[in-house]
Amino acid sequence: MSSAMESSYLPATTESIEKAQEAKDASESISILYRVIQDPSSSADALRIKELAITNLTNYLTKENRAEDLRNLLTQLRPFFSLIPKAKTAKIVRGIIDAVAKIPGTSDLQISLCKEMVEWTRAEKRTFLRQRVEARLAALLLENQEYTEALTLLTGLIKEVRRLDDKLLLVDIDLLESKLHFSLRNLPKAKASLTAARTAANAIYVPPAQQGTIDLQSGILHAEEKDYKTAYSYFFEAFEAFNALDDPRAIFSLKYMLLCKIMVNHADDVAGIISSKASLKYVGPDVDAMKAVADAYSKRSLKYFETALRDYKAQLEEDPIVHRHLSSLYDTLLEQNLCRLIEPYSRVEIEHVAQMIELPVDHVEKKLSQMILDKKFAGTLDQGAGCLIIFEEMKTEAIFPATLETISNVGKVVDSLYMRSAKIMA
């Protein structure tokens, strides 16, 4: 515990709050606010002032990146929570957990803090707060890729919340479950959970941020099914919602919109979208990365494509959704280029093909081998000579299938006649 907490308390009055605000530095303000919280008075005015002191103290501790102190503050405030309404307790607890989340590198601390609060709320029988903290814990576990624990937690929570018919929380939990199943590559269950979230959302008023989250997840699932036009519509809706709220997720929606345009062979539209009034304020590395990919795709240049992937690794390869679709796009582009280059040859050196396509020899050799196995063209690799041998495709004469069909029909007629004659003879 801080030494400030052990010193004498200050009365929970407006003057004490003002004194904290006028302090010369943050440490002194924090010390004063700790002492205000220690005031044993439980009058209505004192409780109100203490709530304000807690809010201010949370803000100061967040600015100072004192995550462990915020965690200790939650433990210290437990006796105080018994004096105020449960709704206010829930607001303070969630506020402090949100404050810890703003401090970088506190993922593990947030998980342990949520687990502590779940235990406390369970002991205190505060169901409303416990369910929300559990939902937050599941989201943190999902971010940490602890999928099994998150799924176990969500399964029990969904059953409980459905019984209580808490639609707003149900939307959050169903969305979480959809994201979790998508991460586990279980697309049917991800779609089912999203449909459940939409059904619950249709019955109540959903805040714009939550509606944007639903649209964003819908777009991601449609893009996964290669329905890029529908996905674009959902990403656009999500972008408008997040943009109006200045939500940082707006940049991801914009990035996925540009991705959809590239995937449907409309890379030329990317420049127009970027230069629109709403998109201009998001110009930065993420948008530049998608512009570089669009330019490479328009020029059908694998070299430019690889340069974009290398220069914008954080924006492209480290974003799992963009990376998955760009990998598919890169493979398609590579196959198209290779097929075009080897078309005039019956035998060609792999090194020559690599020089023409401006890619490493081993990379080209591996891809050609894969294309032969996938029957993209007929050929073989002579690795001793370092050559690719392309076979001429055997043209099947149209008369052969027709002849086989005629023989088959004659056979059926003969069998039928034999059966009839057998019956007559009997």
Q: What is the pLDDT of residues 295-337, one digit of tens each?
A: 988 887 888 888 888 899 888 888 889 988 988 888 888 888 8
Mean pLDDT of 160-179: 92
What pLDDT score was predicted for residue 394? 65
**How many CB atoms are located within 10 Å of the residue 64 CB?**
15
Strand order in the sheet with 347-349: 347-349, 387-390, 379-382
Higher-pLDDT residue of 134 and 317 is 134
182-199 pLDDT per residue, tens: 999 999 999 999 999 999
Question: How high is the pLDDT of residue 2?
Answer: 42
pTM of the model: 0.77
pLDDT at 265 over 80: yes
- Out of 78-82, 86-90, 402-406, least confident range: 402-406
**Rounded percentage of the chain residues whose pLDDT exceeds 90:** 49
Residue 236 vs residue 2, higher pLDDT = 236
pLDDT higher at 176 or 303: 176
Instruction: Indicate the range of 4-8, 113-117, 233-237 predicted with least confidence.
Output: 4-8
Q: How confident is the model at residue 347 (pLDDT cuts 50, 70, 90)?
A: confident
Percentage of the chain exceeding pLDDT 70: 97
Predicted confidence (pLDDT) per residue in 351-392, tens digit: 888 888 878 888 888 888 888 888 888 888 888 888 888 887
At residue 5, the pLDDT reads: 42
CA angle 122, 206, 158 (to 5 degrees): 35
- What is the average per-residue pLDDT within 41-63? 91
Q: What is the average pLDDT across 51-76?
A: 92
